[in-house]
Amino acid sequence: MPRISEIEDDGGDPTLKATFDKQRELFGFVLNPTKVMAHCPPILKAAGAMGLAFEQSGQLPKGMLPLIYTRVATINGCPF
Contact 15, 41 (CB under 8 A): yes
Q: Tell me the C-alpha distance between 55 and 50, whole Å.
A: 9
What is the domain partition of the chain in residue ranges?
14-75
Q: Is the pTM of this model over 0.85?
A: no
Contact 7, 16 (CB under 8 A): yes
Tens of pLDDT along 32-54?
Answer: 899 999 999 999 999 999 988 98
Contact 68, 60 (CB under 8 A): yes
Amino acid in position 27? F
Tens of pLDDT along 6-34?
Answer: 999 989 999 899 999 999 999 899 998 99
DSSP state of 67: H
